[in-house]
């Protein structure tokens, strides 16, 4: 597998861990000195920081497990990423990708079964977040780890006070 593909796979694991609200898996993708910052768009191409940066994979795990909205019964989220720009220089890499997060809400199957004529998937899927991931990685012991991760949100974001 090429280094570029390995870097892209880190992003794939990151969004799957986010969707699953798996703080342990997500935290494991970061170095011990990683910095994560969230930014909200304030105007055409300008962003401002939201909240305090997270430092290290342990803080990332804590944030996922304590600050992300849990999925309701029958609910989930689904990240899609696209247009990855990846630059690799030895054991350092930079990745920039667009993302859209979809809220998925499955309808519960009625005890009496679906109504006559019901076909296909039952529920709703709606986009609710979008932006860019701007991420720097380092290869350590053969594995790519996130060193810096900036989440550039297209909208304002509420972060709980700690």
Q: Residue 90 maps to which CATH number? A: 3.10.450.50
- Report pLDDT digits (tens) over 10-33: 999 999 999 999 888 999 999 999
- Minimum mean pLDDT among 5-9, 40-44, 152-156: which range? 40-44
Is 117 domain-assigned?
Answer: no
Is 159 domain-assigned?
Answer: no
Which range marks the domain in which residue 18 is found?
A: 3-107+122-153
Is 160 domain-assigned?
Answer: no
What confidence tier does 139 reach under pLDDT thresholds 50, 70, 90?
very high
Is 158 domain-assigned?
Answer: no
Is 112 domain-assigned?
Answer: no
Q: Rounded to an integer, what is the distance from CA 152 to the centroid of its chain?
A: 11
- The Cα–Cα gap between 111 and 153 comes to 41
Structural domains of the chain, count: 1
Is 115 domain-assigned?
Answer: no
């Amino acid at each position: 597998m090429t280094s570029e593909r390995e870097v892209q796979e880190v992003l794939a694991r990151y969004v799957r861990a986010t969707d699953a609200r798996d703080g342990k898996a997500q935290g494991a993708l970061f170095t011990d000195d990683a910095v994560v910052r969230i930014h909200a768009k304030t105007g055409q191409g300008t962003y401002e920081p939201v909240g305090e940066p997270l430092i290290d994979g342990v803080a990332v795990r804590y944030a996922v497990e304590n600050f992300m909205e849990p999925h309701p019964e029958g609910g989930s989220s689904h990240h899609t990423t696209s247009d990855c720009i990846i630059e690799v220089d030895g054991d350092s890499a930079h990745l920039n990708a667009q993302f859209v997060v979809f809220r998925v809400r499955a309808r519960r199957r009625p005890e009496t079964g679906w109504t006559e004529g019901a076909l296909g998937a039952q529920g709703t899927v709606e986009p609710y977040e979008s932006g860019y991931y701007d991420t720097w990685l380092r290869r350590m012991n053969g594995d790519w780890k996130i060193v810096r991760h900036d989440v550039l949100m297209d909208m304002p974001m509420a972060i709980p006070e700690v």
